[in-house]
Structures are given as C-alpha cells and as structure tokens.
Amino acid sequence: MRLGLRLFLGFILIVGLAAFFVLRVFVDEVKPGVRQAMESSLVDTANTLAVMAAADLKAGRIGEGRFARDLAEAMRRDPGARIWDVPKHGIDLQVTVTDARGIVVFDSRGEELGRDHSRWNDVLRTLRGEYGARSSPEVEGDRTRTVMHVAAPVFDPEQPGRLIGVLTVARPNSSLEPFIEAGQRRMLGQGAWLIGLSALVGVLVTAWLSRRIGRLARYARAVAAGEPAAPPPAWRDEIGDLGQALEEMRRKLEGKAYVEQYVQSLTHEMKSPLAAIRGAAELLQEPLPEPERQRFARSILEQQGRLTETIDKLLALAEVEQHGWLQRREAVDLGALLGEVATAAEPRLAGAGLELQLELPPQPLRAEGDGFLLRQALANLVDNALAFAPRGSTVQLSLGAEAGGAVIRVLDRGPGVPGYALERVFERFYSLARPDGRPRSSGLGLPFVREVARLHGGRAWLGNRDGGGAEAGIALPLA
C-alpha cells in the first residue's frame, strides 16, 4: 500500500472515530438535556401556579373559582408557535391540586378528582417539605411513553409557611420528541459536514505530502539512473531538509568520483604532448641546423596548442556535467540557432574550400533549454564535419520535425566512421586521425554534445550515411 493512501486512511480513521464518539456523546446528551430543561420550566410553572391557586384552595372553591376559570381559558388557547421548525398549537400541561392529605381536589382534565396521590413521590416529598417530582408511564405498563410530574407546595396566603396543599404540573415526555429529533438531526447533519470537510482536508494534505515525497523519489531515481534532474526546492520543513541533504550527498559523491575520473583521464591525455615538448626542448639545447630548430620549435607550439584546447574543452565539458541539470531554460528558436552556427562557420568554410547547405522547415521549431549550450554543441558537430569533409564537397545542416520532436542533422561526404570506432566516438579523449594528416582532436567535442543533448532531454548520435560520409545529429523535444 502506497504511503499516500496509508496517510489518507489513517487520517480518515482518526477523524472518523473522533467524530463518531463526539457525535454519540452529543446525541446521547440531547434527550436528557431537553428533559432537564423541561423539568426546570415545570418547576417555575408549578411554583407560579401554586401561588395563584392558594386563595381558592383555602376558600374551598378551587374547582369553581377564578383559578379554575383562568386555567381552563389558558388550556383552550392556540399558541401558534413554531419552535425549531416544529409547530405548536396546544397547551400540553395537566394541573392537579391536592389538599394537605394528598387527595386530589382539582384536575384540569377532570380525570383524577378524589383520588389519593399521597403515595406518589411528587406529592409525598412535597408534603414532607422536599422537592417532589416523578416520571410515570402515560399508560399503565408502557414504559416507552412517560409523563413528568413536578410539584410545588401551596401555602396559606394568610399564614405563610402553613402547607395547605400541593399543586402538580404534568407534561408528557412525548411532547418533547419532535424537538429531540430535530436537535439530533441537526447534530448529525453538522457531523456529516464535519466528516466531509475533514475528508477533503485529508485528501488535500495527503496529496500535498504525496506530491512532495514523490518529487523527492523521482529526483533520487533520476540521480541513480544518471539522468539530469534539478534539485528539490528548498522547502522550509523536514521534507525540504531531506531534499537538500540528498542534493548535498549527490554533489559530494559525484564530485569525488568526477575529480578522480578526470584527473586520471587528464593525466593520461597530457603525457603524450608533454613528452613531445620535453623531447623537443632537450634537442633545442644542442646545436642544431636552423631548419631542425624551427621544426622542433613548431612542435612545441603545436603541443602547447593541443594542451590548451584539451584543457578548454575539458573545462566546458566539466561545467555541463557537474550541474546535472539545466541552469537556464527558455524557448529557443532552433532555425535561428542553426543560422547563427552557419554564419559563424563561414570563414572556416572558405579556408577549407567547402560549402554549407542549410535546410530549414517552413514552420519554426522551438525547444526549451539553454541556447548558448545548444549553439556550442552544434558548432562542435559542424567543426567535426568540416575537419573530415573533402575539399570542394558540401556539408549539409538540416532541421526537421520527426516523431513529435526536433531533429538536427550534420551530413558530410568524408571517410565516415570506422566500424571499430562507432561504439567509442562519444568516449572522452577518443578521437580519429584526420584525413589530411593533421593532429587528432582533443576527443572532448562529442562527449560535450552528448551531455548537452542529455541535459535537454534528448539524444545525440554519430554514424555513417548511405553513399559515404558521416551523419551526426541531435534529437530534442519540442517546447
């Protein structure tokens, strides 16, 4: 299982469990919370009505007095209220009054008159001077539908503290169910939104982490495969620190191997010209005829030029190889670039008695990369072609679109590449003898071309063409 999926599932599991337990607590607390609020309001109502009923109860007219008439009028009212989108069109209260012995002397519904309530907790505890309340089945034996009863003492209005009865206010708990269900629905709805938003946050965070970790993984794979790859951005967190540590490790490892390899190659390549310079210098210390002296002096200058060329090209190759990725990227018009290379080669063409034929497509082709490096790479290919092309021949420089990319070819009619050298022409310091007997090149031009092509996501090649001659080229992805 991928890390991103694990992170997402772990996040959802944690949020889901937390939301489940929190919602469960809230939902479980809704019903008792609403009932506690109702009990509190019934306490207020019972005590208020107890004061109002005291005069009629003492006078013995509790069933026919003003209290009974006002309460009956209130019971007939339609509140026309809407609470939490739940309509309310009636009064759900039942009011009973008992005397000091617990016998019911008034009932707003007329159902309990004359009955003995002295054993019920609401009346019994109130007669004892305590807070009285109870919850009883609405129908005998059915515990699913209950009625809450809250009692308040009725005191003699002329003798405060003298208990003359108990007033009980009752309300069915079923009247609260719409409000309880509405509250639970709201909480569940909000919980669903919470889980949904948490899942969205989890997806975004997981995608963000996976993208950054994936970028590090791609960078590490590219480095391991020797492909060009820009270092990860310097994020200011642990992932950024890891990316910078990987880049620093790559630099140190590659730098050490790079220096060792180049020191060995350069040492080997410098032995021959240095030996020639030393031999010529030793001979010049002896008396020599003028022609011989001039020949040895020219040999020293030629070897010095060869060393200088080798060092310059080696530095150019080292610069592109050391970075491992392009430092600059821009849209490069390849047709214009080939035109610049052809113009720069005109003096050498005239000196060698050669002609350059430039072939460009009707539509401009652009690649994304470093125009300076591409120009140097193409100049190297053209220089190679000019060095091997026979005098009076034509060198072709063409640009075309093939397989969704741009292809640049340099064609000549020289001796071509021997079969034994085809696999080695891109090795550092490997070069072939020139047809005119001139000294070999440094053997660093083609490795430079291949490295530039690689940095641009393309490839370079050198082979033989039909009819004789060589074909060198670079294939680049289009911008």
Confidence of residue 167 (pLDDT cuts 50, 70, 90): very high
Closest to 97 in 3D by CA, of 48, 50, 51: 50
pLDDT at 320 over 70: no
Q: What is the pLDDT of residue 325?
A: 57
Confidence of residue 25 (pLDDT cuts 50, 70, 90): low
Question: In the chain, pLDDT over 70 holds for what percent of residues?
Answer: 76
Confidence of residue 50 (pLDDT cuts 50, 70, 90): very high
Tokens of 479: 């911008």
Quick check: helix, strand or coil at residue 224? helix
Q: What is the pLDDT of residue 433?
A: 72
- HSE of 468 in the Cβ direction (CA atoms, 13 Å)? 8
Confidence of residue 409 (pLDDT cuts 50, 70, 90): very high
Mean pLDDT of all residues in 145-171: 91
pLDDT at 404 over 60: yes
Q: How far apart are CA 119 and CA 413, in angstroms?
A: 124
Q: Is the dihedral of CA 382, 385, 391, 395 positive or negative?
A: negative
DSSP per-residue codes, 171-207: EEGGGGHHHHHHHHHHHHHHHHHHHHHHHHHHHHHHH
For residues 14 and 168, which has the higher predicted lDDT (pLDDT)?
168
pLDDT at 430 over 80: no
For residues 457 and 219, which has the higher predicted lDDT (pLDDT)?
457
Question: In the chain, pLDDT over 90 holds for what percent of residues?
Answer: 23
Q: Is the dihedral of CA 419, 345, 390, 466 positive or negative?
A: positive
Predicted confidence (pLDDT) per residue in 229-238, tens digit: 666 666 676 7
Q: What is the pLDDT of residue 475?
A: 92
If you ran DSSP here, which 8-state letter would residue 321 be given?
H
Q: What is the pLDDT of residue 235?
A: 67
Contact 90, 74 (CB under 8 A): no
Tokens of 423: 């696999």
If you ran DSSP here, which 8-state letter would residue 421 be given?
G
DSSP per-residue codes, 53-92: HHHHHHHT-TTTSHHHHHHHHHHT----EEETTEEE-S--
Q: How far apart are CA 162 and CA 427, in angstroms?
A: 118
Closest to 85 in 3D by CA, of 197, 181, 17: 181
Q: How far apart are CA 277 and CA 279, in angstroms?
A: 6
Whole-model pTM over 0.85:
no
Quick check: helix, strand or coil at residue 100? coil
Q: What is the pLDDT of residue 410?
A: 92
pLDDT at 4 over 80: no
Closest to 177 in 3D by CA, of 83, 250, 110, 109: 83
- Beta carbons within 8 Å of 16's beta carbon, 6+ residues apart: 195
Q: What is the pLDDT of residue 46?
A: 94
Contact 408, 388 (CB under 8 A): no
- Beta carbons within 8 Å of 286's beta carbon, 6+ residues apart: none
Q: What is the pLDDT of residue 447?
A: 81
Domains, the chain, ranges and CATH?
3-183 (3.30.450.20), 226-325 (1.10.287.130), 327-479 (3.30.565.10)
Q: How far apart are CA 473 and CA 116, in angstroms?
A: 113
pLDDT at 264 over 60: no
pLDDT at 431 over 70: yes
Q: How far apart are CA 222 and CA 230, in angstroms?
A: 10
Of 61-65, 219-223, 348-352, give the lowest mean pLDDT range: 219-223
Of 78-82, 300-304, 335-339, 410-414, give the lowest mean pLDDT range: 300-304
- HSE of 340 in the Cβ direction (CA atoms, 13 Å)? 14
Q: Report the alpha-carbon angle 380-384-386, nearest 5.
A: 115
If you ran DSSP here, which 8-state letter would residue 329 be given?
-
Q: How far apart are CA 357 and CA 281, in angstroms?
A: 45
